[in-house]
Structure 1
Amino acid sequence: MVKHVRVSAFVVALAVLAGSCGSSTPARPPAPPAGSAGFPVTAGTLTLEEKPTRIVVLAPSATEMLFAIGAGEQVEAVDDNSTYPAEAPRSALSGFQPSAEAIAGHEPDLVVISNDLNQIVDQLGTLRIPVYLAPPARTLDDSYTQITELGRLTGHTAEAADVVTRMKDDIAKIVADTPQRQDKPTYYYELDQALYSVTGQTFIGELFGRLGLVNVADAVESSQVNGGYPQLSAEFLLQADPDLIFLADTKCCGQTPDTVKARPGWSGITAVRTNRVVPLDDDIASRWGPRVVDLVRTIADAAGEVR
């Protein structure tokens, strides 16, 4: 549940200061900063007059995108969940409980978020801090769009185009090299031990669909889909008997092929019995940045083992 917080007196003071600083008119226009050629630029609804040099990122996927396109040196701070790449300047900032005060303390000229929690967009807007919203991708095209727009906003348009092209080419090759079978293998994708999963209509589901796999969660009644993330039951999964199980809860929850096998009744599931329980890197499995190619490759390798 989203908790709305009150803007503190400190933030209000900063807003007043920002407003007063912007009210005076200089005698002559300031010289454009170095490296700002090509600006202003617009991406979505956001327009930046100058190239940002102090970016704060509260979205792990966006952090990976920015470093992949060569904008890492412009990143001032990232949130506590941005674990990749190693050189990303991690901080105590939270993407789940964003604080306008803490963000403003880094003096950013661009903030990148994936969710407007705590009404952070409005709070930062009061401070005249530009915000780019990169919501969770629903399709691969959404991911490509965000990479492209971040490239435009940071002055790395060409580099972003190269990243997108490589991703498309790599995924296309993986898909082309994966045998398409008439009897498509089925899979269960585990988000946590409460048996929350994804349907084929989600970003993750699209990746599996491209590789010709069938999601057992798609058989759940529409009233239980919960926005594409249904909670399944052990009884449902035992009956569905998937050919493959993918664990996206290895880091968070310590799940392994052995812990799955130890669950009551699960040793008889085809995926468990044939040793096709695939542990995933939680971070890669939950993000929609350039490393999605690694996830597609892992899925394809596992699918190729099904006979």
Structure 2
Amino acid sequence: MKRRITAAVIAAAAAIAMSACASNDSTGEPSGGGEATANAATYPVTVGSLTLDKRPEKIVSLSPSATEMLFAIGAGAQVTAVDDNSNYPPDAPKSDLSGFQPNAEAIAAKSPDLVVISNDTNKVVDQLTTLKIPVYLAASAVTLDDSYKQINDLGALTGHPTEAADTVQRMKDDIAKLVKDVPQRAEKLTYYYELDPTLYSVTSKTFIGALFSLAGLENVADPSDADGKKGGYPQLSAEGLVKVDPDLIFLADTKCCQQSLETVKARTGWASITAVKNGNVIQLDDDIASRWGPRVVDLVKAITDAVAKAPV
């Protein structure tokens, strides 16, 4: 997914783009099983204002995060189409459907009995509801609890409540252990998180920023959006970043924009930044860094590993 160079679209992209079997580890990797619990589930099931009279067997997911959740909880076999940005797990039934600009007619052509979306662009919820197609809105998570709730909601709707609860518990346990093992320091390490090469970042008030706070890090982008008017996604300046001299730099634009320690070091004045001098420029997987599904544990691990390796 290419990064758009406006604050509004950067925020939207982070919101939308943050295996038929249950996860067998904290990363959400697909594994076998899940049918026994699914067959035991009872319907109708109600989640919020949505009621399903029977287990959905033709699910369309227009959210990469929701796609990962569905496969992690064992509902992958029920997913018949996913949007063009849902690339994990690799065997997800990718289509040309768009999560950014959902088209009700194109979605309806898939004959779904449940559609999962992350935003109501084009008022697609009303359109699908008029067509009597059930819709679950899995909006961009603001907290980890939002992510956990969505996983449990999808578990209930798809007939996999036990697998969903197990997935959530594993995430909680793994994150708690990672955070507990973070080395204690007399002073907080500072960090800069890069969304794209035009220096859009995130503050501690965002979902991603909150994960860094768990590891005890101080975000150099926070002062740039102290009043919240930039929605937690300020654009920083190259000169300003050189001046604040972060201890760590996390790149969430390695796939989209081919950024690396080498490209960062080549920027004017950046070779003098502490993070660059010490080689503490962490290249993240763009997808994991922008989604709020089970693989958020992988992101927390990348953060805590970086903290552990940084000089005291």
User: Could you tell me the TM-score, scaled by structure 1's length?
Assistant: 0.87
1:288 aligns with 2:283: no
State the one-letter code of the partner of 2:147. S
8 Å contact from structure 2 (residues 41, 160) kept in 1: no
Match of residue 201 from structure 1: 205
- Runs of 4+ off more than 6 Å: none
Q: 1:185 corresponds to which letter in structure 2? A: L
- Cα distance in 2, alignment partners of residues 224 and 70 from structure 1: 38
Within a 5 Å distance, the mapping from 1:61-210 to structure 2 comes to 61-210=65-214
Greater alpha carbon shift after TM alignment, 237-246 vs 42-51: 42-51
Structure 1 counterpart of 2:274, from 270, 274, 283: 270
How many angstroms does 1:274 deviate by? Answer: 0.6
- Residues in 1 aligned to 2:114 and 2:185: alpha-carbon distance in whole angstroms: 47
Separation of aligned partners in 2, 1:121 and 1:68: 25
Q: Which runs of 5+ in 2 are unaligned?
A: 1-7, 10-37
Report the Cα distance in structure 1 between the residues aligned to 2:120 and 2:87, rounded to whole angstroms.
Answer: 21
Deviation track 1:181-230 (CA, whole Å, cap 9, x = no partner) reads 22010000000011000000111111100111110011225357511111
CA contact (8 A) 1:69 1:163 kept: yes
Write the distance in 1 (CA, Å) between the matches of 2:47 and 2:157: 7
In 1, Cα distance between equivalents of 2:221 and 2:236: 8
Aligned equivalents of 1:221 and 1:200: distance in 2?
A: 10
Aligned residue for 1:251?
A: 255
Inter-partner Cα distance in structure 2 for 1:251 and 1:258: 15
How many angstroms apart in 2 are the aligned matches of 1:289 and 1:221? 26
Flag the structure with larger Rg: 1
Which amino acid in 2 is paired with 1:101?
Answer: E
State whether residues 56 and 76 of structure 1, in contact with CA within 8 Å, keep that contact through their aligned partners in structure 2: yes
The CA deviation string for residues 16-69 of structure 1, in whole angstroms up to 9 with x for no partner, is xxxxxxxxxxxxxxxxxx948411111122111111000000000000000000
Query: In structure 2, how many angstroms separate the alpha carbons of the residues matched to 1:152 and 1:37?
Result: 8
Q: Is the 8 A contact 2:225 2:234 kept in 1?
A: no
Q: Select the residue among 248, 268, 283 that pairs with 1:279.
A: 283
**How far is 1:180 from its partner?**
2.4
| 1:41 alignment partner in structure 2 | 45
**2:191·2:250 contact (CA, 8 Å) conserved in 1?**
yes
CA distance 1:282–1:227, change in 2 (3 Å): same
Letter in 1 for 2:102: P
SS at match of 1:220: helix
SS of the equivalent of 1:135 reads coil
Report the residue type matching 1:125 in the other structure. Answer: T
Change (3 A) 1:62 1:242: same
Gaps of 5+ in 1: 3-33
Matched-pair contact (CA < 8 Å) for 1:113–1:133: yes
Report sequence identity in percent: 68
Equivalent residue of 1:258, what SS? helix
Q: Is the 8 A contact 2:191 2:246 kept in 1?
A: yes
Q: Which amino acid aligns with 1:226?
A: K
Q: 1:163 to 1:221 in 2, by over 3 A?
A: closer
Counterpart of 1:278 in 2: which secondary structure?
strand
| Aligned CA distance change for structure 1 residues 244 and 37 (closer, same or farther; 3 Å) | closer
Of 193, 198, 222, which residue of structure 2 is paired with 1:218? 222
Kindly provide the CA deviation profile for residues 72-131 of structure 1, in whole angstroms up to 9, marking residues without a partner as x. 000010000000001100000000111111101110000000010111101101101010
**Number of residues paired by the alignment?**
276
* Structure showing greater relative contact order (alpha-carbon pairs closer than 8 Å, 6 or more residues apart): 2
Contact (CA 8 Å) 2:225, 2:232: kept in 1 or not?
no
* 1:41–1:48 Cα contact (<8 Å) kept: yes
Partner in structure 1 of residue 27 of structure 2: none
* Secondary structure at the counterpart of residue 295 of structure 1: helix
RMSD: 1.5
TM-score w.r.t. structure 2 length? Answer: 0.86
